[in-house]
Amino acid sequence: MNREQFLSQLEKLHIHLTDEQLHQFEIYYQTLIHWNEKMNLTAITEKGEVFLKHFYDSLTIVREFPWSLAENFTVCDVGAGAGFPSIPLKIAFPHIQVSIVDSLNKRINFLEELVTTLKLTDVHLYHDRAEIFGQNPQHREKYDLVTARAVAKMSILSEFCLPLVKPGGYFIALKGASGEEELEEGKKAIMTLGGNISGVQSFILPFENSERTIIHIHKAKSTPKKYPRKPGVPTKNPL
């Protein structure tokens, strides 16, 4: 994916980047590759593939979300790794407020430098387990949108993410070809945690032609207080 293709595909998503925003994506790529020499952030390093499989892929979340991006719109990215999808979202929609939680401090260190280099504001980084973060009163049921990309199966991921979504908000999972199968296995967990499945969209990633699935869940009611359970329990014993 070259520069023109990147811009053209984003326009189809009704995302129109300024020269400054496009430059931020260029700096993002350079910073990612520099840090990737020191730690494993991504197996994808070729520039066109990073722009397609990380940057564009992250922004496809707007296919399934009714963006009413008010000034105080809050997004929490669980297990963001190298910042996907939240940092591309922040670049494209600079006025949103972003919180990122990741269990590996090295990744948080990378994100701290990235946020500073890109001169992003209203981005908050937390080194924590999702199970502990979701029980923290400062974050529990505080976010308009919670996202996750390639973190865990839906039966587990829902317990990490739905406790953070405010009632009336949304949890959106970005998945590959197995997304609908995972969703079928995760329906019980989603309902138990207060969510309703409101949309599933499958599509083919352009140029590369691999299948993607976006799962859109509405938070219909508060999550029972006992969720998320203690660290490690959701993974070992999914709902």
- Is 73 marked as binding a ligand? no
The first and second tokens of residue 83, run together, are 């910042």
23-30 contact pairs (CB < 8 A, 24+) = 24/91, 24/118, 25/51, 25/55, 25/88, 25/91, 27/117, 27/118, 28/55, 28/83, 28/87, 28/88, 28/91, 28/114, 28/118, 29/55
| Angle (nearest 5°) at CA 206 between 144 and 117 | 55
**DSSP one-letter string for 197-222:** EEEEEEEEPTTT--EEEEEEEEE-SP
The residue behind tokens 């590369």 is: 208
Q: Which amino acid would we find at residue 101?
A: V
Confirm whether residue 195 is marked as ligand binding: no
Query: Is 184 among the annotated ligand-binding positions?
Result: no
Residue 150 among known ligand-binding residues: no
User: Any binding-site annotation on 130?
Assistant: yes
Residue stretches of the annotated binding site: 79, 84, 130-131, 149
Per the annotation, binding residues for S-adenosyl-L-methionine are 79, 84, 130-131, 149
